[in-house]
Each structure stands twice: as structure tokens, then as C-alpha cells.
Structure 1
Amino acid sequence: MRGRSGGTRTRWVLRAVPLLAVLLAGCGTDPGTASGDQDAASRPPAAEHWRPEPGVDWQWQLSGRIDTSVDAPVYDIDGFDQDAKTVAALHAEDRKVICYLSTGAWEDFRPDADAFPASVRGKSNGWEGEWWLDIRRTDVLEPLMEKRIEMCAEKGFDAVEPDNMDGYLNDTGFPLTAAHQLRYNRLIADLAHRHGMAVGLKNDLPQIPELVDDFDFAVNEQCAQYEECEELTPFIDAGKAVLHAEYELPVADFCPESRRLRLSSLLKKYELDAWRKGC
């Protein structure tokens, strides 16, 4: 039985991959029809949406009963496990609410798990019940992810936190390239915007320069532990929040630097229950 709800994770990144090699990797011919490559003019116009600003405080809770007493103006909670009533209760207390979804991995415990064909499921991402998705297959994944994002919108969420957005840096079982990841991440951002919600870039630090204009904020795990927080400054420079969590460092080790960089930093437990320490 899982000890948490949702699939946030520390990164199983192949950190030895040089950035230039990743960015120049070949695209090849993708399986399926890449509907994510449609011309933007053919899509419905994006609705206006909330945009969190640098330094905003936040609470990240993906397991347990949501504790609405935490004094934070932004809550990030599981999109499947939490209902419209919970979102409305947070809105009644003048909070903005982010919908956590896994968009890059298949989770066998989700209610729509059977809709994902075996052909798009790859290797385990290191968490029980989760496998990487073949993000090249936008013909299969786009409608499935749009249904998930529609669910968030129907429940009243203000934004989406799409997880597992850096498969190209991991051993997924598929020959994913940086180009595949850029296309897929932009597709997810476009879907969220079409449904009137903000969207955050989860980890994927090497592609921040290419993606900062497509996303409204960033969500990062452990940039202080891996001495990477400076790489998130393009979001801050663009007036966009960086929602940052550490798990293993004491707050005294990362909060001074977080304040200098204007990151929205928390110390959390890996199970992402209600417990937190803010900077």
C-alpha cells in the first residue's frame, strides 16, 4: 500500500549527460501523429489565468487530509484525490489552488489507468506503481492528458503542476530526446492555458531557457542540495514564482540563499503530508 498520494519524486536524473549533447540530440521519426505540433493559430484562444509572483508563500500537500489551517496563500494538492469542495473551501479562504498531476508517467492506481495502452508504458521511474510514458506518442497522450487537465478545471483549480516532465534525462525505455521533451512540455502548457489555468515547469532545469516563456511558474525539488538554484533565476527575472522544496537539508542551510534568489522555499517530508517549514 502506498504511503503517499500522488507521484512527486526526487529526480532520477542522469546528471552526467552534457547539456549541449542533450539539446542537440536528434529528433528522428516519432511513432504516431504528433498532434502537439499543430499550428497555434488552429487552436482555441487561451483564457486568462492566474500568474504567481516571485516570493509567494505556498503549501505542498499530496497525502493525508488537507490541512487548510496552514497560513499560505497558495496550496498545491493532488488533482485526483481532492474534490471541488476542497478547492472551493480553499478559495473561500482567499487561497489559490494548484492541481498536481503526473503527465510524464503512468500510474497504475489512477482511475484512468486502463485508458493508457501498454505500448506507451516504459520502465519504472523508481516509485511503486509508476512507469515512464513514451512522450513521443502525443497522438495517444494528448487526449488523455487533456481529460486530466479538464478535470482540474472543472474542480475549480487555478493552476496545474505536471510532474515527470524530464523523462529525456532518465532511463525510460524509450529513445527520448531533448526535442521530444520540449514539444511535449509545451503541449502540456498549452493544454493548461486553453482551460484557463496557469502551469508550472517541474524540474527539467536544462530546458528552462527554452521553456520559461511557455510556463507561468516553476516547481523544483532539491535545487539547494544539488547546488542548482541559480539555474531557476530566469523564472524570477521574468516575474514568475519558483516553488521550491527541500527534503534533507535543514532550513538554515538553504533559506538565506532562497531569500536572496527570491525563491518560495519549503522544507518538506518525502511523503508530502501537511508538515512544513518555510523560509
Structure 2
Amino acid sequence: MRPRRVALVTGAAVVVAAAVTAVVLSRTSSPETGDARPPRPVRVTPPPVSAAFDYQIGGPYPPAPGVRVVSRDRSAAPLAGRYTICYVNAFQAQPDELAWWRRAHPDLLLRKLDGALVIDRDWNEALLDVSTPARRAAAAAIVGTWIDDCAHRGFQAVEPDNLDSYERSGGRLTPDDNAAFAALLARRAHADGLAIAQKNTAGLLSRRRSIGFDLAVTEECGRYDECDRYASAYPGRVFDIEYRRRDLTAACRDRAGRPSVVLRDREVSPPGTPGHRFATC
């Protein structure tokens, strides 16, 4: 299992189309009649192409000079003057939020035949059940409010994590299930004026357009020799995090697709804490 973030404190990373600003339609309705109003255009703002970026999901801090794109948890504030991505754990339940999920939406937690929760053991996170259209719609309504909040507070993009949860589901979820759920989140993000990132999951690159992804946030594409695949799909819009210096070197060597690469410690800790690391190409 590849490291994604600190288990209880999360962040975001995302990058969008470089040359143009996409125009999407917002959700509006008439308070008097309830009828749909004419669509109102909402602009999805692209990040700077191949800009230096920092992955701050373990806690926010002032970025190094030259950093123009920052990824932060949805609980943190966006950074003024920087393109800031909002991290949302969209496909799994944070450990400190599991009690709320159990109480409020127990039917949206993926379960085994004996009723036990399906758990991502690396992060002690329960998987969400997005196996049916009804469950996907219900889960998207919840995660959608988090995406709305990211937009309201001034983030420019959103990164829904754990797109690859089907790989840990024991066959209870499929790539089709997760792609369909991601498409719901993409529509919500675009209606809010946010770009949306594909998080890892190279196996879904061929579906990026049908889902609606605008960029990629990857972890260890240098280590796993996947950077070229993402760069071909999202040229100039790949933001990669490496956790070993030799993998940083490998990712930086492949500059054909102009990925933005950062070296971070596995705890993605702020400066001044033990183990903090930060380096770029």
C-alpha cells in the first residue's frame, strides 16, 4: 500500500488545465417556484503549469520560496497568493470520524458477509460502500458538502483520496463502482468552480475524461515507474510526491511531461518537527 497521508490529518494536492479556463454550469433553482433557472457559468481556474508545489497534508506552514501550488487538508485554510488544493478523504472514513459514520450512515460503510467492516489496514480506515447507484448518490451528497465547503473557503481545486479503494475491498467494489462515484464528485466540484484531481490509480487513466478529472496528484510515480503514464495523460498537470531521495531523482529525470515533483517525509510533517523533509527537482 502506498503512503498517502497522515492517518488522522489529511491534505490535498491538485493541478488543472494549463492553457484555458474551463467553463462549467452551477446548480441553481428558483426559490419561488423550485424550477431550474438558466445555467450560470462557473469558472474552473487552472493552476500554473509544472509549478513547484508542496504537499502540506500533515499541517499547514508558509511554503518555500518559489512554491506556487500547495495541497492542504480540508480542515486547513487555503493559502493566499498560492493555488491551493483541498484534500478530501472521499472513498474511506477517517478513523476519528468512524463513530459518526456508524451512527449517521451505517449503511454507507462497506461490510463483509458477517457484517464486519472492510478496513484499509495500512491506515485503519473503513471503506465506504459505493457499490450501488443509491449508495453512491447518498455518499456523494455527504462528500459533496465537504467539496462545497472547500470552494466556499477559497480553494481552487479538490483532491478526493482513495480512488483505488476497490483494490482493498476484497472484490466487493469494482473499478466501475469507484469511477461512477468519482464522476459524481467531479460534477459537484465543477459546479462549485473547483478543478478535480485524479489521485493515483493508474488503472483508471483511460477513464479520466469520462470521469471528469482535470489533473493528477500522484505518490511515488518515480518509485513505481509510472510518471510517464500520468504525464502522457495530464501533460504539465502532474503533481508527484516522493518519499525517498532516489525516487525523487528518478522522477526528476523524466521531465518529458514536465511533472512537478516534491520530496516529503512519510509523515508529511511541518518544519520544526522531527523528520521533516522537503526538496524539489
TM-score (norm 2): 0.74
Q: Which runs of 5+ in 1 are unaligned?
A: 9-40
> The residue matched to 1:200 in structure 2 has which SS?
strand
> The residue matched to 1:148 in structure 2 has which SS?
helix
Let me know the Cα RMSD of the aligned residues: 2.7
Residue 177, structure 1, aligned to residue 179, structure 2: no
C-alpha deviation, 1:95, in angstroms: 0.7
> The residue matched to 1:181 in structure 2 has which SS?
helix
Instruction: Go from structure 1 to structure 2 and tell me whether the alpha carbon gap of 1:220 and 1:43 turns closer, same or farther (over 3 Å shift).
Output: farther
* Residue matched to 2:139: 141
C-alpha deviation, 1:267, in angstroms: 1.1
* CA distance in structure 2 between the aligned counterparts of 1:219 and 1:128, rounded to whole angstroms: 19
* Residue matched to 1:49: 44
Residue 130, structure 1, aligned to residue 132, structure 2: no
C-alpha deviation, 1:44, in angstroms: 5.8
Is residue 52–residue 217 contact of structure 1 (8 Å, CA) maintained in 2?
no
Matches within 5 A, 1:1-279: 5-6=9-10, 47-64=42-59, 66-71=60-65, 72-80=67-75, 82=76, 86-87=77-78, 90-91=79-80, 94-110=81-97, 113-114=100-101, 116-122=104-110, 123-136=118-131, 137-168=135-166, 170-173=167-170, 175-212=172-209, 214-237=212-235, 241-250=237-246, 251-257=248-254, 259-274=255-270, 275-279=277-281
Is residue 149–residue 160 contact of structure 1 (8 Å, CA) maintained in 2?
yes
Q: Which runs of 5+ in 2 are unaligned?
A: 1-5, 13-35, 111-117, 271-276
C-alpha deviation, 1:265, in angstroms: 0.7
Alignment-mate amino acid for residue 180 of structure 2: R
Alignment-mate amino acid for residue 67 of structure 1: Y
Instruction: Go from structure 1 to structure 2 and tell me whether the alpha carbon gap of 1:247 and 1:196 turns closer, same or farther (over 3 Å shift).
Output: same
C-alpha deviation, 1:116, in angstroms: 5.0
Aligned residues: 233
> The residue matched to 2:151 in structure 1 has which SS?
helix
* CA distance in structure 1 between the aligned counterparts of 2:168 and 2:202, rounded to whole angstroms: 17
> The residue matched to 1:63 in structure 2 has which SS?
coil
C-alpha deviation, 1:117, in angstroms: 2.0
C-alpha deviation, 1:112, in angstroms: 9.0
Runs of 4+ in 1 over 3 A off after TM superposition: 41-46, 110-116, 234-237
* Residue matched to 1:24: none
Alignment-mate amino acid for residue 106 of structure 1: A
- Listed one character per residue, the Cα deviations across residues 87-117 of structure 1 (whole Å, up to 9, x for unaligned) are 2xx22xx211111110000113149934652
C-alpha deviation, 1:128, in angstroms: 4.2
Alignment-mate amino acid for residue 68 of structure 1: P
C-alpha deviation, 1:160, in angstroms: 0.4
The percentage of counterpart residues that share the same residue type is 26
